[in-house]
Amino acid sequence: MSDGLDLYLPVSTTRPAHALETALRAAVVDGRLPVGTRLPASRALAADLGIARSTVSEVYSRLAAEGWLESRVGAGTWIAGFPRQAQPAVAQRQSPPEYELRGGLADAGDFPRSQWSAQTRRALAEMPVSAFAYAPPEGAVELRDTLAGYLARTRGVAVTAAEVLIGSGFGDLLSLTCRAIRARGGKRIAVEEYGHERHRRIIAESGLEIVAIPVDSEGADLADAEADAVFLTPAHQFPTGVPLSPERRRAAVEWANARDALILEDDYDGEFRYDRRSIGALQALAPDRVVYLGTSSKALAPAVGVAWAVAPPELLPELLRQRSLSGVTPSGLHQQVLARFLDSHEYDRAVRRRRATFRTRRELFAQLLAERAPELRPGGLAAGLQCLVELPDAAAEERALAAARQFGVALEGLADYRAPGGNPDRAGVVIGYGAVSSARAARALALAADALANGLSF
Ligand SMILES: Cc1ncc(COP(=O)(O)O)c(C=O)c1O
């Protein structure tokens, strides 16, 4: 009575009983066959594996006697669980923290499901048959058009649809851009001394050598960095939270002009300034030097999987060549839906809703911190979905993180973001207030403030 389950079990023909028994145990332990999974009938499995039915029956009975399987006449055989001796590896796995406060994440709980679903229906009704084929490497023209308008309107980006390139997430476009720089003969890229380790790995994989540059209260300081490109978060340095000062913006452009270098502008949360109007994108100062990178992950969700780049026209052919080599095409359907989402201004509404949520959360956190650890302050701009709370030293950072772990709060310290060669003397904890649900935010942020207060006590 097989229910059609397809199993890949490496079973040799020399010792089939032993091999089948081992393969089934391993599949249960590593989770490929979860508890409750119904196994094929012995006849069906024997036929699939090319072994005798009696061998399968014998293995099923042995595993049933040990507690791995259960069977009932007429109901079949299914995975019953782990016998006691097989449990430790799984049982010792720690339960995930109860509250998610790591930086850069937004709460998917408020994803505008009904609006997305309405625009999906619209896209499906309107899309010509040709739009179901492979999307063009530069992205669907409808999305590039509408994004050009959106980025000019909200971020002051100097752009026409021809310079927009669509990617399947920010990491995809970062990787393409770095590989294009490498293909043009570039060797080194400067990165801010604090940032995502994931991004540094993507950059390093392209073959570029990374040099860390300092970040202070005016943002990243390029000074005389020797590199062919620089990767910056000018609107809201990640994760320290400061904007790149007007002088440093000008200096960055001069630096790039003097070396024929490129600036990669990571505008991951440029729309989320709530103390006042955002400063426009750095790209507008030097459209022929800057590759502007943005994402829908913060306003909507990473599951949308669409990001964009605005690139200098002379870099586009190499980017498209790298696109064709990567074998990746961003989902054509999601591009069509996102184009309509932007056109109908649902995207603007989603940004405004999140902006209001983030603002409330940040204010609440500032208040809780003032009550519990009055000597500490959320640093940087009142913007985005995280802030850095600086601490006196690395020991205080470790104490705060240890307390957070005890309270069931997932948090990261500045050390988790530091690039090799970055300043080891600065310490602090990044509070990502974007990802926890509204119902749990007050509790989570109070625990985070308590953890920081613990960091100060010794
Ligand atoms: C600083 C920064 N840049 C870029 C991104 C990329 O966004 P995604 O890969 O989710 O599109 C993130 C997201 O965590 C981020 O925090």
Is the CB–ligand 1 distance for residue 295 below 6 Å? yes
In a domain, residue 446? The reply is yes
Q: 302 and 402: one domain?
A: no
How many helical (H) and strand (E) elements, i.e. helices and strands, does the chain have? 15, 17
CA distances from 155 to 66, 96, 138, 272, 394 (A): 64, 37, 21, 11, 37
Q: 183 and 329: one domain?
A: yes
In a domain, residue 1? The reply is no
Q: How far apart are CA 51 and CA 46, in angstroms?
A: 5
Q: 309 and 397: one domain?
A: no
Is the CB–ligand 1 distance for residue 386 below 6 Å? no
Q: 171 and 319: one domain?
A: yes
Please, what's the largest Cα pairwise distance for the chain? 80
In a domain, residue 21? The reply is yes
Secondary structure (3-state) at 214: coil
Closest to 99 in 3D by CA, of 453, 449, 457, 455: 449
Q: 334 and 359: one domain?
A: no
Q: 405 and 265: one domain?
A: no
In a domain, residue 8? The reply is no
Query: Given ligand 1 and candidates 166, 193, 297, 304, which is best to mutate, with the most ligand atoms within 8 Å of its CB?
Result: 297
Is the CB–ligand 1 distance for residue 170 below 6 Å? yes
Closest to 151 in 3D by CA, of 29, 267, 264, 71: 267
What does the pLDDT read at residue 258?
Answer: 97
In a domain, residue 2? The reply is no
In a domain, residue 252? The reply is yes
In a domain, residue 388? The reply is yes
Closest to 189 in 3D by CA, of 172, 169, 208: 208
Of 323, 346, 369, the domain-final residue: 346
Of 346, 377, 395, the domain-final residue: 346
Q: 448 and 326: one domain?
A: no
Domain that includes residue 68, residue range: 16-90
Q: 85 and 103: one domain?
A: no
Is the CB–ligand 1 distance for residue 175 below 6 Å? no
Closest to 50 in 3D by CA, of 20, 89, 92: 20
Q: What is the CATH number of the domain that holds 446?
A: 3.90.1150.10
Query: Given ligand 1 and candidates 101, 107, 166, 170, which is best to mutate, with the most ligand atoms within 8 Å of its CB?
Result: 170
Q: What is the CATH number of the domain that holds 190?
A: 3.40.640.10
Residue 215 pairs in a beta bridge with: 220
Q: How far apart are CA 425 and CA 74, in angstroms?
A: 68
Q: Which amino acid is at 343?
A: D
Q: 315 and 201: one domain?
A: yes
Q: 327 and 358: one domain?
A: no
Q: What is the CATH number of the domain that holds 81?
A: 1.10.10.10
Q: 266 and 118: one domain?
A: yes
Contact assessment for residue 127 and residue 336, using Cβ atoms and an 8 Å cutoff: yes
| Digitized pLDDT (tens) for each residue of the chain, 458 residues in all | 445 677 777 777 778 998 899 889 888 887 788 888 999 999 999 998 889 999 999 999 999 988 899 988 888 999 997 775 554 444 444 678 899 999 989 988 899 999 999 999 999 999 999 999 988 999 999 999 999 999 999 999 999 999 999 999 999 999 999 999 999 999 999 999 999 999 999 999 999 999 999 999 999 999 989 999 999 999 999 999 999 999 999 999 999 999 999 999 999 998 898 877 778 999 999 999 999 999 999 999 999 999 999 999 999 999 999 999 998 888 999 999 999 999 999 999 999 999 999 999 999 999 999 999 999 999 999 999 999 999 999 999 999 999 999 999 999 999 999 999 999 999 999 999 999 988 899 999 999 999 999 999 87
Contact assessment for residue 227 and residue 190, using Cβ atoms and an 8 Å cutoff: yes
Count of domains for the chain: 3
Q: 130 and 274: one domain?
A: yes
In a domain, residue 7? The reply is no
Of 315, 346, 377, the domain-final residue: 346
Is the CB–ligand 1 distance for residue 297 below 6 Å? yes
